[in-house]
Amino acid sequence: MESGIDLQGSLIDLLTNFGLPSEVAKVVWMPLPMLLMLVVATVGVLVAVWLERKISAAAQQRIGPEYAGPLGSLQPVADGLKLLFKEDIIPNRADPWLFTIGPALVVIPVFLSYLIVPFGQNLVITDLGIGAFLWIALSSITPIGLLMSGYSSNNKYALLGGLRAAAQSISYEIPLALSVLAIVMMSNSLSTIDIVEQQSGYGILSWNVWRQPVGFIIFWVAALAETERLPFDLPEAEEELVAGYQTEYAGMKFALFYLGSYVNLVLSALLFAVFYLGGWSFPVPVEAIAGWLGLSEMSPWVQVVTASLGITMVLLKTYLLVFLAILLRWTVPRVRIDQLLNLGWKFLLPVSLANLLITAGLKLAFPVAFGG
Amino acid sequence: MLKFLKQVGDYAKESFQAAKYIGQGLSVTFDHMSRRPVTVQYPYEKLIPSERYRGRIHFEFDKCISCEVCVRVCPINLPVVDWEFNKEQKKKKLNHYSIDFGVCIFCGNCVEYCPTNCLSMTEEYELSAYDRHELNYDSVALGRLPEKVTLDPMVTPMREFAYLPKGVSDPHDLPKGSKRAGLRPEQILEQLEREQGDRDDAASDAEKN
Amino acid sequence: MNLAEGVQFVSFGILAATTIAAALGVVLLENIVYSAFLLGGVFISIAGMYLLLNADFVAAAQVLVYVGAINVLILFAIMLVNKTEVFQPMKNAWFRKGATALVCVGLFALLATMVRSTSWAVLDSVAPIESTAIRLGEHFFSDFLLPFELASVLLLISMIGAIVLARREFVPEETDAQREVVFRLPERPREPVGAIGESSSASENS
């Protein structure tokens, strides 16, 4: 595989040409991708919120947001601004410190997980050797924040919601991790870049969906439960718990929870696309197309086209999955807490274990198809 | 062992069935997405209330004979009729009349029983107020006529479902002159009269013979 | 000192400070919930230490296992049994505290001498490992096979034990003395539908 565009190298070269020492140039480079990723994540959330509202409206034969911006696309911005300017309320007899730290603890790990999300061969903040594992580890911090905000709100619904959220997210982490493990076993690496590399080659045919159909479904169910999307949104079930751990929150702290849940949804969809749908690869391998057209892969504009096609593909797959999540939200009724735990522990866990075992067996039997 | 295998098989079958049902549900939801929205964009579009719409009650002060039938038939004795006996005329003289629309349930009993038809239902339904005491309408407020939806230049009037042509469920962009399904009241009356005339003719024929 | 070393030094300082401060908070704070949350802080800053030592897999595992599982478990236990109870001031509490302090100081002294007596200079020559996960796996399945398997068997045993404890149907033995004070809902006892006529006729007879 070619190295593709090296933005970091180019920028550092540029800055050193201006007479800066190379170390300083590196320091100048470092925050740029992080800032870019923060902006991308936030804008991704805005798009996801808008999609959610529009698609929900369409599914219920409504129109949805209409007047703020073209097709109501500025509605999430307006909502965010409104929440930003609202009074920051800390309830009487609540624990002010924990109450404030809680939402931050929920949001920070989710944003940190964007470290490992690749949009292209070199379009990732860091290609960590433990990429997928880092995501699972970081997502396990979130329940602490939920418990913290649930406890500190001094409200029984908030506490119940926090406990439920923690129970749900630790029990669905296991099938999630096991289905990721099957993928990792096939690609011999935890790095998200390597996982996508392993799926390139034959275009759509070499994507992991075909090799891991069971893992595909388990991952999606578990990811929905992790992000507390609707069939599994018991922690904030309106009919039972008012709003769960968010009950006492208002203003920017509530906005953090809201942001966190949507960032988490987009992140899950992104990683789902990376793990199962070939990440940035086009359904037909780009190298093959370049070969047919008689173009050199190394020529600069082909590189630019390939990179932008990659980003488009990742986003397309991600928002397709977000769309699926929204559609599921209006299709499947909410499960009860015992049904939720039954599904997690008695169905998904054994099935994902069996999936892992079968994957290992297939890997030994057919090392060509399942990554030797 | 066989029993266990059968259990596992049944379980797997049930899981697949559940997945199938979820898929069916998804396809239903997906199908709904391609349908047109049925919503009425309220402040800009309004439904035309039907003929028998029970909206805010209209009251004609001069017709009222202070008989208090409206109070008797009201489920909660809501109308307040303040009258005094005029000894010269030997008649009741109405001083004030009021209905609190914060409490009224718009059942229409008062309108039904009013002997002089001084009460009537209007098509007005926008009764919101900042203070609930503002909903207590006195005889002056009750005497105001409501604005017609069709005459408001700000509003696009929409027909209600029962007033749409046959097979149409969306009130937007109706072709001009489209008629509702079924017969209009005057047509029904015409038909009834014609039938009556036929029957009369037949009866007179029978008498002749 | 170049830039990378400087960053490393500063982050080590911050991590060490937060570890010690959070650990002191765990021990000294009155509110047990604060202690539990600060314990999570200790675990996370220790994960940061692992990161500084180029052990990224261990760091992630530390976060996953200690913060994500153990700390949440502790919090669950605290929140499900958190009674607001006024504790009786114990007599001779100073003795307990003193004994604890003595043990802790002894342990600290032991570890400190161990730290001082170890020659750490060797570690400078160790090159950073490219993929820590692979090296860990190799060690687990070669020279550390026995401890690894023993640990997993131990975990399995504890898991089965937990399941057995949780599945035990706890039916207290009913004695006659207990039965009298049992409160019943003011409802007719449930009877099968066919028996209603018989029981009503029986009650009429009696």
Quick: pLDDT tens for C90-103. Answer: 677 788 888 988 99
How far apart CA B141 and CA B61 sit, in angstroms, is 11
Q: Tell me what pLDDT residue A206 has.
A: 79
- Cβ contacts of A82 within 8 Å, gap of 6 or more: none
Cβ A278 vs Cβ A212: under 8 Å: no
Kindly tell me if the per-residue pLDDT of A89 is higher than 50: yes
Which of these, A140, A228, A119, A136, lies nearest to A181 by C-alpha position? A136
Q: Tell me what pLDDT residue A228 has.
A: 84
Q: Tell me what pLDDT residue C150 has.
A: 93
Percent of chain B with pLDDT over 90: 25
Which of these, B53, B88, B94, B89, lies nearest to B71 by C-alpha position? B94
Q: Tell me what pLDDT residue C189 has.
A: 55
Confidence of residue C119 (pLDDT cuts 50, 70, 90): confident
- DSSP label at A118? -
CB atoms within 10 A of CB C102: 10
The mean pLDDT value of chain C amounts to 78
Kindly tell me if the per-residue pLDDT of A165 is higher than 50: yes
Query: Helix, strand, or coil here: A297?
Result: coil
Q: Tell me what pLDDT residue C155 has.
A: 92
- Residues in chain C closer than 8 A to A151 (CB atoms): 33, 79
| Distance to chain A for B159, nearest Cα, Å | 18
| Distance to chain A for B188, nearest Cα, Å | 36
Give the tokens for residue B132: 């609930």
Q: Tell me what pLDDT residue B148 has.
A: 85
Kindly tell me if the per-residue pLDDT of C84 is higher than 50: yes
| Distance to chain A for B153, nearest Cα, Å | 20
How far apart CA B109 and CA B79 sit, in angstroms, is 12
Q: Tell me what pLDDT residue C202 has.
A: 45
Cβ A330 vs Cβ B29: under 8 Å: yes
State the alpha helices, DSSP H only, in chain C: 3-28, 32-52, 56-62, 72-81, 93-117, 132-140, 145-167, 176-181, 195-205
In this structure, the strands spanning B91-100 and B80-86 are antiparallel
Quick: pLDDT tens for A94-123. Answer: 888 888 888 988 899 888 888 888 887 777
CB-nearest to B39 from A55, A62, A217 is: A62
| C12 vs B37, more confident | C12
CA dihedral C89, C93, C94, C98 (to 10 degrees): -140
Taken in order A99, A100, A102, A106, the sign of the CA dihedral is: positive
How far apart CA B158 and CA A324 sit, in angstroms, is 35
| B147 vs C130, more confident | B147
Kindly tell me if the per-residue pLDDT of A34 is higher than 90: no
Kindly tell me if the per-residue pLDDT of C198 is higher than 60: no
Quick: pLDDT tens for B56-99. Answer: 999 998 888 888 899 999 999 999 999 999 888 888 889 999 99
- Residues in chain A closer than 8 A to C75 (CB atoms): 144, 147, 166
Percent of chain A with pLDDT over 90: 2
State residue A242 phi and psi, 5-degree precision: 60, -85
Quick: pLDDT tens for A239-286. Answer: 777 888 888 888 888 888 888 889 999 999 988 888 888 878 777 777
Quick: pLDDT tens for A288-338. Answer: 777 777 777 677 777 778 788 888 888 888 899 999 998 888 888 888 888
Q: Tell me what pLDDT residue C185 has.
A: 56
| A19 vs A154, more confident | A154
B158-172, C36-50, C144-158: least confident range: B158-172
**DSSP string of chain B?**
-HHHHHHHHHHHHHHHHHHHHHHHHHHHHHHHHTSPP----TTTEEEPPPTT---SEEE-GGG-----HHHHHSTT---EEEEEEETTTTEEEEEEEEEETTT-----HHHHH-TT--EEE-S------SSGGGGEE-HHHHTPPPPPGGG-TT-EEE--GGGSPTT----TTPPTTPPPSS--HHHHHHHHHHHHHHHHHHHHHHHH-
Average pLDDT over residues C128-147: 82
Q: Tell me what pLDDT residue C122 has.
A: 62
CB contact under 8 A, A62 and B29: no
Q: How far is CA B155 from the centre of its chain?
A: 19
Give the tokens for residue A49: 């919120």
Kindly tell me if the per-residue pLDDT of C188 is higher than 60: no
Q: Tell me what pLDDT residue B182 has.
A: 79
| Distance to chain C for A99, nearest Cα, Å | 12
Average pLDDT over residues C96-116: 91
CB contact under 8 A, C76 and A98: no
Beta bridge partners of B121: B57
Mutate which of B8, B10, B29, B45 to disrupt the A interface (most A C-beta within 10 Å)? Answer: B29
Kindly tell me if the per-residue pLDDT of C175 is higher than 70: no
Can you say whether residue C31 is alpha, beta or left, with left for phi > 0 and alpha for psi between -120 and 50 degrees?
A: beta
In Å, how far are B7, B15, B78, C53 from B11, measured between CA atoms? Answer: 6, 6, 62, 49
Q: Tell me what pLDDT residue C205 has.
A: 47
Q: Tell me what pLDDT residue A209 has.
A: 81
Give the tokens for residue A79: 């909502």
Kindly tell me if the per-residue pLDDT of A372 is higher than 70: no
CB contact under 8 A, A61 and B29: no
Which of these, A338, A360, A355, A183, lies nearest to A275 by C-alpha position? A183
Which of these, A267, A304, A310, lies nearest to A115 by C-alpha position? A267
How far apart CA A199 and CA A337 sit, in angstroms, is 37
How far apart CA C141 and CA C133 sit, in angstroms, is 12
CB contact under 8 A, B37 and A63: yes
ipTM: 0.81
How far apart CA C61 and CA A347 sit, in angstroms, is 26
Confidence of residue B178 (pLDDT cuts 50, 70, 90): confident
Cβ A197 vs Cβ A207: under 8 Å: no
**DSSP string of A55-92?**
HHHHHTT---S-SSSGGGTTHHHHHHHHHHHS-----T
| Distance to chain A for B45, nearest Cα, Å | 14
In Å, how far are A26, A34, C7, C52, C123 from C4, measured between CA atoms? Answer: 11, 18, 5, 11, 18
Quick: pLDDT tens for B41-53. Answer: 888 888 888 888 8
Cβ A128 vs Cβ C132: under 8 Å: no
- DSSP label at C130? S
The mean pLDDT value of chain A amounts to 83
CB contact under 8 A, C3 and A23: yes
Beta bridge partners of B157: B46
Q: Tell me what pLDDT residue C200 has.
A: 46
Quick: pLDDT tens for A114-162. Answer: 888 888 777 777 777 788 888 888 888 888 888 888 888 888 888 888 8
Q: Tell me what pLDDT residue A297 has.
A: 67
B26 touches chain A (CB under 8 A): yes
Confidence of residue C16 (pLDDT cuts 50, 70, 90): very high
CB contact under 8 A, B32 and A60: yes
Q: Which residue has the tokens 């919090």?
A: C75
Q: Tell me what pLDDT residue C204 has.
A: 45
